[in-house]
Amino acid sequence: MTGFRAARYSSRRPPVLELRKKQLMASSTSSAITLKINGEKYTLPVDHRTTLLDALRERLDLTGTKKGCDHGQCGACTVLLDGRRSVACLQLAVAAEGREITTIEGVADGERLHPVQQAFLDLDGYQCGYCTPGQICSAIGVIEEHAAGWPSAVTEDIRPEAGRPPLTADEIRERMSGNLCRCGAYVSIVEAVARAAGAGPDEERPLPAATVNVKETAA
Ligand code: FES
Ligand code: FES
């Protein structure tokens, strides 16, 4: 065997080839990305398979966003992407690059709680609190979606000319149905979302008086 062939078939590859192979493998499975989270930019290398949820919790120490099912079924990991609700466990971190990511750590205005946070506090919209960050991010999205006139599956009249549907308890339940609460704090969660939205009374299933026309909370 010639010297060239001996080198080619040798089990010990020249170090430079091994290095190149490692570089190629690394570049095909990971990237350096920059995520904009709560107004701050974070640059980090990530495996392409890393979910946004794991990037937030395990890489950036933003542990307010919770992991429940890790399968898109419980809503515990809900964050806002460009203002819209998204379950971070089904979102790849690389796909979130260039988006405005808002987590529970970023919804308050300094020391001043977001109206949804305040309503959850005032109305006991939680028990153990594990689902609460996702519930609050989701509720913020719900209020925005409703304000924009988006119908839900229980909206009776979805014609554009019908306008924005009233944010009844049934509407809130339907719109928040992707967020599960193992503690069963649903009654208070519905009240808190209604209060934060400044929603009026639900004619079919009246909300408690405390939740009616409390717009000053949302101001
Ligand atoms: S952890 Fe993402 S939906 Fe359950
Ligand atoms: S408050 Fe405990 S899971 Fe919702």
Distance 125 CA to ligand 2 centre (A): 9
Distance 69 CA to ligand 1 centre (A): 5
**Dihedral sign for Cα atoms in the order 37, 112, 177, 167:** negative
Distance 71 CA to ligand 1 centre (A): 5
Q: Is the CB of 185 under 6 A from ligand 2?
A: yes
Domain boundaries, the chain: 31-106, 115-218
For residues 88 and 51, what is the distance between their CA atoms, to the nearest angstrom?
7
**Topology of 31-106 in CATH?**
Ubiquitin-like (UB roll) (3.10.20)
What is the full per-residue pLDDT of the chain (219 aa) written as tens digits? 445 454 444 456 567 777 666 665 556 899 999 999 999 999 999 999 999 999 999 999 999 999 999 999 999 999 999 999 999 999 999 999 999 999 999 999 999 999 999 999 999 999 999 999 999 999 999 999 999 999 999 999 999 888 899 999 999 999 999 999 999 999 999 999 999 999 754 444 444 444 433 333 333
**Topology of 115-218 in CATH?**
DNA polymerase; domain 1 (1.10.150)
At 78, which amino acid appears?
Answer: T
Give the atom of ligand 2 at the shortest distance from the alpha carbon of 126: 1
Q: Is the CB of 73 under 6 A from ligand 1?
A: yes
**By three-state DSSP, how is residue 80 classified?**
strand
Give the number of the ligand closest to the Cα of residue 75.
1
- Its pTM surpasses 0.75: yes
Phi, psi of 79 (to 5 degrees): -130, 175
Q: Is the CB of 106 under 6 A from ligand 1?
A: no
